[in-house]
Amino acid sequence: MATEQKNPVKKVNIICAKGAVEDVYATLILGNGAVMEGIEANIFFTFFGLDAIIKSRMDKLHTAVVGNPALRLPGGMRMPTLLGVIPGMEAFTSWMMKKEMDKLDIPPVSEFLDLITAGGGKIYACKLAMDMFKFRKEDLSEHVIDILTVGEFYELAGGEGSHIIFT
């Protein structure tokens, strides 16, 4: 339904601080959805979210199988903790999730960032997190345009119709 908005969303600034598959993809879908609607998007990766923009890690994200109360087996039963601790269970579950996403035409993280940057979305890394995890600029994927402090992030998050989203 197209309704005339009095205060349309003009810009979104999305912060991604967690590195599990579901957290990163929530960020990427919000970001891509924004640029697909002509909304300006800035995405800021910090802490474990950095995994999504580190070249060697970005397409190998996992989901938690232990301590993830919302995780269910096919059939609806909750994933029992004792099943989750079996070696390989995390990798297998993460692989199954990726397969389901691929069926829905959801791309791997690197390709997703291609789509977002092609639409004008901007990707940033957090300086504090980079220092803490001892990453260097060379570790980051080429989609990242800058490494920012929190103050610099707030500066570019300003403007009318601008929203900050924490995923």
By CB under 8 A, name the one of 9, 36, 145, 150 that touches another protein.
36
Distances in whole angstroms, Cα of residue 52 to Cα of each of 3, 9, 48: 35, 25, 8
Name the one range near another protein by CB under 8 A: 9-17, 31-39, 60-68, 69-77.
31-39
Euclidean distance between CA atoms 48 and 54, whole angstroms = 10
The answer for residues whose C-beta is within 8 angstroms of residue 137's C-beta and 6 or more apart is 147
Does 9 bind another protein (CB under 8 A)? Our answer is: no
By CB under 8 A, name the one of 91, 118, 132, 150 that touches another protein.
118
By CB under 8 A, name the one of 10, 18, 22, 29 that touches another protein.
29
What does the block give as tokens for 51?
Answer: 């995994």
By CB under 8 A, name the one of 14, 27, 31, 32 that touches another protein.
32
The answer for residues whose C-beta is within 8 angstroms of residue 158's C-beta and 6 or more apart is none
Does 1 bind another protein (CB under 8 A)? Our answer is: yes
Q: How far is the CB of 107 from another protein (least distance, A)?
A: 5
Distances in whole angstroms, Cα of residue 12 to Cα of each of 75, 103, 106, 126, 140: 37, 28, 21, 17, 22
Q: 69 to 88, contacts with another protein by CB under 8 A? A: none
Name the one range near another protein by CB under 8 A: 73-81, 88-96, 114-122, 148-156.
114-122
Encoded amino acid at 108, one letter: P
Euclidean distance between CA atoms 22 and 77, whole angstroms = 19
Contacts with another protein, residue ranges (CB under 8 A): 1-2, 29, 32-33, 35-38, 104-107, 111, 114-115, 118-120
